[in-house]
Structure 1
Amino acid sequence: MANSITYTTVQGDTFDMLSYRAYGDEFKAHYIIQANPNYANVLVFSQGIELTIPIISKEAASTLPPWKR
């Protein structure tokens, strides 16, 4: 992936933890899971696994009026 970084896991990492660290939102974990399909079934990572973390653009908050998005 051109717009991504490589992250090496530490014992106890989870997709939602990584998503929160990368994007500030644990509900965007699906981006990381899609980029790493071989690990989609892993709940808790062991140390030393290299994962691809896609760089995503920030979305405008839907609660803002259109002229502020």
Structure 2
Amino acid sequence: MSIYTTIQGDTWDMISYKVYGTEIYADKLIEANPEHLKTVIFDAGIKLRIPDIEIPSPETLPPWKR
């Protein structure tokens, strides 16, 4: 697990895209940081826990997701 420090205007999906390369893991970020559950747009300087997620490689994805 690593730590991400927010910048002004970050949102869950933006952070997910920055750290994982896709927005679909925003729910994992929220689960790892329940104290910020109601936050939609972050202020700068908030420390968030970033869980380690095994991201499937392109070879294992179906053709329409490659």
Of 37, 42, 49 in structure 2, the residue corresponding to residue 52 of structure 1 is 49
| Residue of structure 1 in register with 2:13 after alignment | 16
The structure whose Rg is larger is: 1
| Residue of structure 2 in register with 1:25 after alignment | 22
TM-score w.r.t. structure 1 length?
0.80
TM-superposed CA distance for 1:8, in Å, is 1.1
TM-superposed CA distance for 1:9, in Å, is 0.8
Partner SS state of residue 54, structure 2: coil
Report sequence identity in percent: 43
Structure 1 residues not aligned, in runs of 5+: 65-69
| Residue of structure 2 in register with 1:7 after alignment | 4
Structure 2 residues not aligned, in runs of 5+: none
Pairs aligned (count)? 60
Coordinate RMSD, CA, aligned? 1.1
TM-score w.r.t. structure 2 length?
0.83
